[in-house]
Amino acid sequence: MNNLNKEKQKIYSEGLISRLSQYLKYIVQLKELGKRTVTSQEISNNTDINSAEVRRDLIYFGITGKRGVGYDVEQLSKEFNRILGYGQEVKLALIGAGNLGKAILNYKSLGQFGFKVENVFDNDTRVIDKKISGHKVLNINQLKDIAAEKNIEIAILAVTPHSAQRVTDILVNNGFKVIINYTSVPVKAPSHVNVQTTDPIEKLLHTLYYLSNTGYKE
């Protein structure tokens, strides 16, 4: 067991980590706007989480604010990042170089939260070896070796609906632990692989906590 796991013996509930992910998403937006303080009511209004629940969560982690002023945005950002285990760039594999894949590569919010699309993969010979948004499209047959070499464990699924399950199976067989499903169809994976199909930023933040603490081995 490494030092990180020794330090993180307490695993928080799904509900709490989901709320923290929403808080952090909003706090990062405030930082981008240059705002320095925020109230629990403002957090509540922008996350649809009851303000009393927000305050309880902050108190639980020992985060305090100033009466009449609120909470320091920078402090909140640091604390939420620490709790979620988010302190360095997180590499992603994007599967699918079509219109959806291109849109994801141009989604600036990924970079704001420290998530980086490391490589793009496809099986279409018409796009393999071409560049989209600065990324060379690689043959999906290279996925296993590259993911292992670069320690990439999270994939974004942006393929056609009829290919979604087949590609999911490839990701599972190649050791991916988290799959963010952007397709319009549900996909199935073993219990040790976490599949998310809603807000990508919120879910990436959410799943990062469990990936760093448990590896999704429940």
The tens digit of pLDDT for each residue in 139-167 reads: 999 999 999 999 999 999 999 999 999 99
Q: Kindly state the tokens that stand for 204.
A: 């990436």
Non-local CB neighbours of 51 within 8 Å, separated by 6+ positions: 40, 41, 43, 44
Does residue 116 have a pLDDT over 50? yes
Paired residues of 70 in beta bridges: 66
Q: How confident is the model at residue 10 (pLDDT cuts 50, 70, 90)?
A: low
Pairing of strands 131-132, 135-139: antiparallel
Name the residue ranges covered by the structural domains of the chain: 13-84, 90-213
Please give the average per-residue pLDDT across 171-195, as a whole number.
Answer: 93
* Mean pLDDT score, 64-92: 86
Looking at residues 45-69, what average pLDDT do you find?
93
State how far the Cα of 21 lies from the Cα of 81, in Å rounded to an integer.
9
pLDDT digits (tens, 9 = 90+) for 90-106: 899 999 999 989 988 98
What average pLDDT does the chain have? 86
Q: What is the pLDDT of residue 28?
A: 87
- Span 18-45, average pLDDT: 92
Distance (Å, whole) CA 134 – CA 174: 25
* Least confident window among 9-13, 34-38, 48-52, 134-138: 9-13
pTM for this entry: 0.67
Give residue 74's pLDDT: 92
Per-residue b or e along 68-95, where b marks 16 or more CB atoms closer than 10 Å to that residue's CB? eebbbbeebbebbbebbbbeeebbbbbb
The amino acid at residue 29 is: Q
pLDDT for res 42: 96
Identify the top-confidence range among 83-92, 182-191, 205-214. 182-191
What are the pLDDT digits (tens) for 27-40?
988 988 999 999 99
Residue 216 binned pLDDT confidence (cut-offs 50, 70, 90): very low
What's the pLDDT band for 209 if we cut at 50, 70, 90? low
Is the pLDDT score of 5 beyond 60?
no
Looking at per-residue pLDDT, the higher value among 198 and 5 belongs to: 198
Q: Measured between alpha carbons, how far is residue 161 from residues 158, 180, 186, 187 in Å?
A: 9, 14, 9, 10
Written out in words, the top-level CATH class of the domain with range 13-84 is mainly alpha
- In CATH, the number for domain 90-213 is 3.40.50.720
Flag the least confident range among 15-19, 80-84, 165-169.
80-84
